[in-house]
Structure 1
């Protein structure tokens, strides 16, 4: 039984990781048989993984057509940030006191360093870990489950857009430091306000990057 569960988890994790990293691009069609061969597992773990991923909104299983990786649109940016703007400031305001001081100090030390001291990939990881730590303080499993769905989609957008450019990277670092500084003071109202401003700036930057990429593609086609 444990071996079967392990294979199911492996299939689920491997496919999910490839979707989030856009190795399976938005809108791509997947084939169950090809997945079995690629991941070296039987039909049952693959089908179990696909069922879970469909529930998480990462794929759609289309009768007589196949398995489609869920698309991402400009409207999805609005939807993702709408949820993040509801959840993340609320997490600080309502549950900020649940975040351990040593966690806050760790992020303070991290974001006190200039952003350019990290590689882009390292900063992706740090940024994600920071936001996950804040939302992780929420002690409501229903909210956490919904946020996990949004979190997966947000990670895909980052991979697609290459979200951090040098200027935005430094600004993001400063915004993170402002949030953490408010947390160290246990001023959760200020921390929530700083988080809201940070997310609004991130939303604007994401729109700019997506629209710029679209404009560049149109220009090249001409």
Structure 2
């Protein structure tokens, strides 16, 4: 499979530093770059066929976001997610999506409700087929329709800011059959609350769903890589 960094293309109409940042960020989220991997300016510049200056700028931006860190004698390395990072991200997601569902209940159209019903039917089939890749994609489509129905562009953008973090976490939880079945039922209940125009119930169900997702991830969460990484640098 072709590497994300190997397919880097400077011809796209964006500042080079932004293109580099996006490519490195994607490589981190998709696991091509793993916790503890060193990011050497010279090597990246040669690999991506650019100068070292935009590489340095992109790495600074990644460090600000908390995806990489600078260590003495090691340089820049990919930073693993710690338990508190996951809890913080889910807390932010919970606050944003509870706010969004309030407006979704008010603004959703019949056409969007019908699309959500279709997604639920497909998700049910995929859940029992144990096709987790397709299930992940359809689940994302369900969430996207539900969030966009709030008709709050700035709120949608804020939620999307954390989308890549959440995609990584959800890929882990979807491997667990018990969580897949529970999530399917929770999605059905959320949709029914939206159809019934029951704002408080919808908000409560979203909170329960996201807390369940967090708990499922924390059960499988391991700090082995991070602990080993920390031990090497103490």
User: Could you state the TM-score of these two structures normalised by the residue count of structure 2?
Assistant: 0.73
Matches within 5 A, 1:38-53: 38-53=47-62
Q: Are positions 1:76 and 2:85 aligned together?
A: yes
Greater RCO (CA < 8 Å, at least 6 residues apart)? 1
- CA shift, 1:18, in A, is 0.8
What pairs up with 1:47-196 in 2 under 5 angstroms?
A: 47-61=56-70, 65-113=74-122, 114=124, 115-117=127-129, 119-136=131-148, 137=150, 139=152, 141=154, 147-159=159-171, 161=172, 163-196=174-207
In the TM superposition, 1:21-36 aligns within 5 A as 21-36=30-45
**Is contact 1:27–1:70 with CA below 8 Å preserved after alignment?**
yes
Work out the CA distance in 2 between the residues paired with 1:25 and 1:130.
29
Q: Distance in 2 between matches of 1:116 and 1:37?
A: 46
Structure 2 stretches of 5 or more lacking a match? 1-10, 225-234
> Structure 1 residues 36 and 91, CA, compared in 2 at 3 Å: closer, same or farther?
same
CA distance, structure 2, for counterparts of residue 39 and residue 96 of structure 1: 46
Tell me by how many angstroms 1:148 deviates.
4.2
SS in 1 for 2:221: helix
- Where structure 1 has 5 or more consecutive residues not aligned to the other structure, the ranges are 215-222
Question: Bigger shift: 42-51 or 25-34?
Answer: 42-51
Q: CA deviation at 1:39?
A: 2.8
Distance 1:165 1:21 in 2: 19
Between the aligned partners of 2:100 and 2:81, the Cα distance in structure 1 is 26
Q: Tell me the CA shift for residue 99 of structure 1.
A: 4.1
Higher helix share: 1
CA RMSD of aligned residues (A): 3.1
Give the aligned length. 211
